Amino acid sequence: MSYDRDLAFEYNSPTKVIFGENSIKDIGLEIDSLGCAKGLIVTDKDIVEAGLAEKVEKALGRRCAGTYDQCSQDSGFHLVDEGAAFALEKGADILVSVGGGSVIDTAKGMAVVMKEGGRLKDYSGVQMLSRPQTPHVAVPTTAGTGSEVTMYATIKDWDRNIKDFICDDFIIPNRAIIDPTMVTGLPPHLTASTGMDAFSHAVEAIHTLNHQPIADGMALQAIRMIVQYLPRCVEEGENLFIRGQQQLAATIAGIACSTAFFGLNHAMAHCIGALFNVPHGIGNSILLPHVMLFNLEECADRYALVAGAMGIDVVNLSDVEAGKTAAEAIRELTKKIGLPQKLREVGVPEERLGEAADQSLADGCIVYNPRLVMEAEEVLEVYRAAW
Ligand SMILES: [Fe+2]
Q: Where are the domains of the chain?
A: 16-182, 188-386
What is the reported pLDDT for 245?
98
Q: Is the Cβ–Cβ distance between 310 and 329 less than 8 Å?
A: yes
Give the distance (Å) from ligand 1 centre to CA of residue 57: 28
Q: Which of 109, 189, 115, 185 lies closest to 153 in space, CA to CA?
A: 109
Beta strands per DSSP E along the chain: 16-19, 39-42, 64-68, 94-99, 125-126, 136-140, 152-157, 162-167, 175-178
Residue 35 burial class via C-beta count within 10 angstroms: exposed 0-12, middle 13-18, buried 19 and up:
exposed
Give the distance (Å) from ligand 1 centre to CA of residue 200: 7
Give the distance (Å) from ligand 1 centre to CA of residue 281: 7
Read off φ and ψ for residue 340, nearest 5 degrees: -60, 150
| Coil, helix or strand at residue 94 | strand
Give the distance (Å) from ligand 1 centre to CA of residue 342: 18
Give the distance (Å) from ligand 1 centre to CA of residue 2: 26
Q: What CATH architecture is 16-182? A: 3-Layer(aba) Sandwich (3.40)
Q: How many residues does the chain have?
A: 387
What is the reported pLDDT for 190?
96
What is the reported pLDDT for 360?
96
Give the distance (Å) from ligand 1 centre to CA of residue 298: 22
What is the reported pLDDT for 159?
87
Give tens-digit pLDDT for 108-158: 999 999 999 999 999 999 999 999 999 999 999 999 999 999 999 999 888
What is the reported pLDDT for 43?
98
Give the distance (Å) from ligand 1 centre to CA of residue 111: 21
**Segments of the chain scoring below 50 in pLDDT:** none
| Coil, helix or strand at residue 95 | strand
- The CB density around residue 315, as the number of other CB atoms within 10 Å, is 7
Q: At what angle do helices 188-207 and 213-235 cross, to 10 degrees?
A: 160
What is the assigned CATH class of domain 188-386? mainly alpha
Count Cα neighbours of 347 within 13 Å in the Cβ-side half-sphere.
Answer: 9
What is the reported pLDDT for 160?
86
Give the distance (Å) from ligand 1 centre to CA of residue 257: 9
CA-to-CA distance for 106 and 77, rounded, in angstroms?
9
Give the distance (Å) from ligand 1 centre to CA of residue 92: 29
Give the distance (Å) from ligand 1 centre to CA of residue 93: 28
Q: Is the Cβ–Cβ distance between 353 and 249 less than 8 Å?
A: no
Residue 3 burial class via C-beta count within 10 angstroms: exposed 0-12, middle 13-18, buried 19 and up:
exposed
Give the distance (Å) from ligand 1 centre to CA of residue 29: 30
Give the distance (Å) from ligand 1 centre to CA of residue 198: 7
Residue 381 burial class via C-beta count within 10 angstroms: exposed 0-12, middle 13-18, buried 19 and up:
middle
Residues 6+ apart with CB under 8 A from 87: 40, 42, 65, 68, 95, 110, 114, 134
Residue 335 burial class via C-beta count within 10 angstroms: exposed 0-12, middle 13-18, buried 19 and up:
exposed
What is the reported pLDDT for 161?
83
